[in-house]
Amino acid sequence: MNKLEFSSLYQLTMMRFRLFLREPEAIFWIFIFPILLAAGLGIAFRNRPPEVLQVGATTLQLTQALNADKGLTSTTMDEAAGTQALATGRILLLAVQRPDTTVYQYDSTNPDARTAKLLADRAIQTAAGRHDALPTKEELVHETGSRYIDFVVPGLLGMNLMGSAMWGMGFAIVDARQKKLLKRLVASPMPRWQYLASFLLSRLVMLVIEVAAFLGFSRLVFGVPFRGSITQLALLCMLTSLAFSALGLLTASRAKTIEAVSGLMNFVMFPMWIFSGVFFSSTRFPAVVQPLIRALPLTAAIDAMRGNMLQGMSLQQLIAPVAILLAWLIIPFAISLLIFRWR
């Protein structure tokens, strides 16, 4: 690369930085919003003592038996009032005393209600004189890496890398196309590849700040573990950002308006927000769609980052998600070069 080419690439890259700094809303969504979201989720799903479950009983004897369990708090009520309380969610279970048995009324699809049933049955059986056949004891374990915040931080990181890469690439290119800037640049002595390279260079520099700020906050405030190589985690973040930059370039290759590229990018990203396991495990979806979910770039990115951060896995152990990310980098970028509209 001669001096003129280096100068033009440098100026194009600096132009990307200046345009970015002129958009305070972009700074908020890329740097501040993920931290606020992680803080909110970390506080909402922090480790807390077990909740006391609200239940009801139709007799004073049942109420006393249920209140003997420290995990339950019971109120005496008639069956009609109890049915109304169940319907409105004020109680999770109603214990009804019948002449020859005790009936538990609860919603079996509610996990808390199923827990309440187990505790209520244990309390009532114990009050009736049942004894454990074998002695048991509890050994409580609170391990970092098993908390919800530990699970969700790699998901939020992957989601943020996807959004910043795709929106940053797509909007900027289509905006320049609308303003006829691309047409003017083509007429200049600038090599075309340098215009696209300037996006990647500016993206990589901002990536360092974006990832360091988010992961630094997660580590300092919530103690999120980093059990794998930090260098390899940085490489995974770089690969993820480049893969989504290529995907953003593809969506912007032919779009002529901001509205068009916005619709295309939402169409591409929306399925990944749902299926890729940002806030809950992607394994919750049926087995028949798992191959498609595993092939999504965000799924591969999140699985790889969770493997590195929470399980200490190396890149050699993450061959499958890394290969998927490489495919999403190479194929969209190659297609983009073929169909890219400069005018």
Question: How many angstroms separate the CA atoms of 244 and 166, rounded?
Answer: 6
- How high does pLDDT run on average in the chain? 85
Place of tokens 């505790």: 119
Question: How many angstroms separate the CA atoms of 192 and 211, rounded?
Answer: 29
**pLDDT, tens digit (0-9, with 9 covering 90-100), for 244-289:** 988 988 898 888 888 888 888 889 999 999 999 888 888 889 999 9
Query: Residues 161-165: what's their mean pLDDT?
Result: 89
Host H or E run for residue 297: helix 297-311
Q: Which of 70-74, 201-205, 326-330 has the lowest mean pLDDT?
A: 201-205
Question: How many angstroms separate the CA atoms of 118 and 108, rounded?
Answer: 11
Which residues face 72 on adjacent strands? Answer: 53
Is 70 exceeded by the pLDDT of residue 108? yes
pTM (2 d.p.): 0.75
Q: Which of 186-190, 253-257, 314-318, 329-333 has the lowest mean pLDDT?
A: 186-190
pLDDT range class, residue 4, cuts 50, 70, 90: very low
Question: Which pLDDT value is given to residue 93?
Answer: 93
Is 60 exceeded by the pLDDT of residue 221? yes
pLDDT range class, residue 62, cuts 50, 70, 90: very high
Question: How many angstroms separate the CA atoms of 88 and 267, rounded?
Answer: 38
Query: How is residue 278 written in tokens?
Result: 């940002």
Which residue type, as a one-letter code, is found at position 256?
Answer: K
The candidate with the shortest Cα–Cα distance to 169, out of 190, 192, 198, is 198
Place of tokens 């990115």: 301
Question: Which pLDDT value is given to residue 328?
Answer: 94
177: three-class secondary structure by DSSP: helix
Which segments within 99-183 are labelled E, that is strand? 102-106
The candidate with the shortest Cα–Cα distance to 154, out of 326, 324, 300, is 300
Q: For residue 267, give Cα distances in angstroms to 221, 258, 264, 270, 273.
A: 34, 14, 5, 6, 11
Query: How is residue 40 written in tokens?
Result: 């909110």
Question: How many angstroms separate the CA atoms of 58 and 316, rounded?
Answer: 61
Is 90 exceeded by the pLDDT of residue 293? yes
How would you write 39-86 as a 3-class SS string? HHHHHHCCCCCCCCEEEEECCHHHHHHHHCCCCEEEEECCHHHHHHHH
231: three-class secondary structure by DSSP: helix
Query: How is residue 292 written in tokens?
Result: 């498609």
Is 90 exceeded by the pLDDT of residue 63? yes
Which segments within the chain are labelled E, that is strand? 53-57, 72-76, 93-97, 102-106
Q: Which of 104-108, 185-189, 247-251, 321-325 has the lowest mean pLDDT?
A: 185-189
Q: Which of 40-49, 71-80, 91-100, 229-238 has the lowest mean pLDDT?
A: 40-49
164 DSSP assignment: H
Rg for the chain, CA atoms, rounded: 28
The candidate with the shortest Cα–Cα distance to 206, out of 159, 160, 174, is 160
**pLDDT, tens digit (0-9, with 9 covering 90-100), for 112-152:** 899 999 999 999 998 888 877 777 777 766 666 678 888 99
> Which one has a higher pLDDT value, 280 or 29?
280
